[in-house]
Chains A and B, each alone.
Chain A
Amino acid sequence: MHIELNHYLWLSAFMFTVGVIGVLVRRNAIVIFMCVELMLNAVNLSFVAFSHFLSDIQGQMMVFFVMTVAAAEAAVGLAIVISLFRNRQTVNIDEINLLKG
């Protein structure tokens, strides 16, 4: 059996869909962050697969930058979660409605 580009893209599509479902279904803010990481990784996988099959280095550069941004996003996002938990004693996003006034 030969591994083609489409196999990697199917895997990536599956991972991205699971991430989307997780964001829509789960109520725990931290788990939602994890699902966002899942989606970022799905996109990284298709970048690396395209980079391999097109012999182009730019896909891997993009993955490098996505990882950096994901690290920054996780740090700031978790700080926000800690700050919210300190005020509300919950991470349930249904109970966090500060912006409604």
Chain B
Amino acid sequence: METVSFILFSFLGALVMVGSIGTVWSRNPVTSALFLVLNFFALGGIYLLLEAQFIAVVQVIVYAGAIMVLFLFTIMLLNLDDEQALKEKFDLQKGFGILLGGVLLVEVLYILGLKINLPQKSTTLTPVEIGEAKNIGRELITNFLFPFEIVSILLLLAVVGAIVLAKKNFSPNT
């Protein structure tokens, strides 16, 4: 059982890595978006390995479904050609970006290498029970009621803002 889950983790982890690198690497925005979808699906599988069923389902529905459809729709709407049309800047900027990213990775891995004492487990629920929609829903309308309401206002604002921005002919010169 341990071996099976480790093999699954390695496979899904490799898919996540391929998806994220492909997103950054590919020239065509549509290819980037499809690699990102692969990444999100593999992440959903990893959430299942972590026994977070509700989060896994939401990941696939909201991220791989809704958000990526929004991205692809925008790419189609703008009718972008390959990125060769975009004038690529000189390579010093790219090299510097990759250097900074490498430094960040080394820093994070160094911190992960330190021995950190994790706090004591705080609940009596098992990990499987924590991931259930029932327990998440109960937590959402008891301890997290206020953030939940605030998030609903945020979504309303996002809807209104998106419509206003996309509708109005925003031009700075007139």
Q: Which A residues are within 8 Å of any B CB, using their own CB?
A: 1-3, 5-11, 13-22, 24-28, 30-31, 33-35, 37-38, 41, 44-45, 48-49, 51-58, 60-61, 63-65, 67-76, 78-83, 85-87, 90-92, 94, 98
Contacts and interface: CB of A to CB of B under 8 A. Distances in A.
B130 A11 contact: no
Contacts of A10: 109, 112
Interface residues of B, number: 91
Interface string B131-151: 100011001100110010001
A13 B111 CA distance: 11
Given A63-B55, A75-B70, A80-B165, A38 B36 contact: yes
22 contacts: A15-B17, A16-B104, A22-B23, A22-B24, A24-B98, A28-B29, A34-B33, A54-B119, A55-B126, A57-B135, A60-B55, A67-B58, A68-B154, A71-B67, A73-B158, A74-B71, A75-B70, A78-B70, A82-B166, A86-B169, A91-B80, A91-B86
Contact of A27 (B52, B86, B102, B143): B86
Contacts of B52: 48, 51-52, 60, 63
Interface string B54-88: 11001100110011001100110110100100111
Nearest to A68: B151
B6 A31 contact: no
Given A17-B104, A83-B166, A83-B170, A94 B89 contact: yes
Interface of B: 2-3, 5-6, 9, 13, 16-17, 20-21, 23-24, 29, 32-33, 36, 39-40, 43, 46-47, 49-52, 54-55, 58-59, 62-63, 66-67, 70-71, 74-75, 77-78, 80, 83, 86-89, 93-94, 96-98, 100-102, 104-105, 108-109, 112, 118-119, 121-123, 125-127, 130-131, 135-136, 139-140, 143-144, 147, 151, 154-155, 157-159, 161-163, 165-166, 168-172
B20 A18 contact: yes
B contact face: mostly helix, strand, loop, or mixed: helix
Given A11-B13, A28-B83, A79-B162, 11 more contacts: A7-B9, A20-B101, A28-B80, A31-B29, A34-B71, A41-B39, A45-B43, A54-B121, A57-B125, A71-B158, A91-B78
